[in-house]
Structure 1
Amino acid sequence: MIIVTRPSPYGEELVQLCHQAKLPAKHLPFFNIIKGQDLDQLAQHLENLQQGDMIIIVSPQVNLMISTQQKVLFPHFVHYFAIGEQTAKQFQSITGRLTTFPPKDENSEGLLEYFQSINLSVNNRQVLILCGDVGRTVIKKNLTRQGALVKNIQCYQRAPICYHIMLFEQQQQYSFIITSIEHLLQLNQYCTDTHKHNCRIIVSSPRIMAEAKLHHWQQIYLAESANNQNLFKTIATLCHNAISI
């Protein structure tokens, strides 16, 4: 059984892809996505930007919240970047602003490598990182060291969903889809050493993989990114290789 822990609506979308391929899958989100504490001040932060400043969008959840802010206008004179292609296209469709994403790795490290490859200077630039309540510290720390004036704008928050402590059967072989360290930590609350030995997790970044190893997960598979198509590609590859999911 494939357990998809992504929040709505992306979790349901991935489950549907699995069902279309006749793979058993269930949506079991660990968080609800709710309004972030900085969302109402987003327009004010945008007004303070100047020519050549930057905005970074870290996830599709940011786009969901931005789409509810109809009076927010994103300036044309700043540079827009997103962690991945899906996030970039969604943001562009909502705001009409051209949004660039890293051509290779769709994660924080990939975006920073892209900045380096194009010799992007961030010294004395204002950078707004539109994000959630946790994570993405790598980008802020790196750009701050380069002289950027970085602010994290919390557009959404994760509200944990609590389940019964005996959520998963001991002898069932599950495949867990994990797209953030926070999801991994929630999963650990419901899993025993037996689960960590018998079950597999599919993760969306090397950082999550490293964290999973620290928590003694034995079967860890790395997808190219948190994009549902890439996650499904990894799931399908495991099935194609005759590994029981």
Structure 2
Amino acid sequence: MRPEPDATKLVKLLEKAGKNAWSFPLIKFLPGKDLHKLPKIIRKLNAGSLVFILSKQVIFYISLFIKKKIYWPKNINYYAIGKNTALEMYKFTGIQPKYPKTHETSEMLIKFFELKSISKKQALILKGNRSRSVLSNFLKIRKTNISFCQCYKRIFKQHITSYDIEKWKIIGIKTLVVTSSDILKRLFFLFSSTNNKKWLLKCNILVVSERLAKLAFKIGWKTVKIAKNANNKTLFKEILSNNF
């Protein structure tokens, strides 16, 4: 269920290990509406400001669509949602953001965040169009001056055909890999018939946080496993170790 190109890469890993796997992303990404503003926004940040990078898609679209080189000040504190995002930022800018070593979620980023005096500091959140408000709410409570830059946007798949569902059943799909709450809710919504929903809820589901696991149980899944990270290497190991 995860977006491309990660979905296809994970499928190839599983097929090499002898597993039947199928890529079926429910979300695709497009450039965000604020990309052209980013160079100017960065220039206005003061020393000691905070920059939060909430997805590796942020870096992908910045590098792809901003032709003019951005100056990334080194006297600013950079934070990434997780290891993969931090690595992409380093490859693109040479700057190594700090990041939580556990789950790649806003909650973990907040726990990891160094809670020094941040009142009245500038904070820039680089995000998508449907990013959660956990981090921004946290910063607002601490009276941080927040600005946002929508670097990419998510577009949801509008339907799943009966042919798609039958194909999943024929090839023996029994485990679903879901990496966001939007994908999880969209998946359940797109399975319209009662019989298909029953089949869906009998599948194992692999998610990437406690929050997603709770949501999956609430919707009706019975067998829910949690991977430590959302990267393909971790998901691959989790699928094999659970004998999905």
- Using the size of structure 2 for normalisation, the TM-score is 0.89
Q: How far apart in 1 are the matches of 2:185 and 2:34?
A: 25
- Which string of whole-angstrom CA distances, capped at 9 and with x for unpartnered residues, describes residues 194-214 of structure 1? 124311111111222222222
Superposed, 1:1-245 pairs within 5 Å as 5-68=1-64, 69-71=66-68, 72-115=70-113, 118-166=114-162, 167-169=164-166, 173-191=173-191, 192-239=196-243, 245=244
Q: How far apart in 2 are the matches of 1:161 and 1:173?
A: 20
Q: How far apart in 1 are the matches of 2:26 and 2:75?
A: 38
Deviation at 1:104, TM superposition (A): 2.6
1:242 matched residue in structure 2: none
- Which string of whole-angstrom CA distances, capped at 9 and with x for unpartnered residues, describes residues 63-104 of structure 1? 210111232222222111101111101111101112111123
SS in structure 2 at match of 1:156: strand
Q: How far apart in 2 are the matches of 1:98 and 1:197?
A: 41
Q: How far apart in 2 are the matches of 1:31 and 1:106?
A: 19
Give the aligned residue type for 1:121.
Answer: S
Hey, which of these two has a bigger chunk of helix by percent? Answer: 2
Gaps of 5+ in 2: none
Identity of aligned residues (%): 30
Q: How far apart in 2 are the matches of 1:95 and 1:178?
A: 30
Contact 2:20/2:173, CA 8 A, preserved across alignment:
no
Deviation at 1:155, TM superposition (A): 0.6
> Greater shift after overlay, 160-169 or 54-63?
160-169
Aligned pairs, number: 234
Contact 2:188/2:197, CA 8 A, preserved across alignment:
no
SS in structure 2 at match of 1:13: helix
Give the aligned residue type for 2:128.
Answer: G
Q: How far apart in 1 are the matches of 2:214 and 2:201?
A: 16
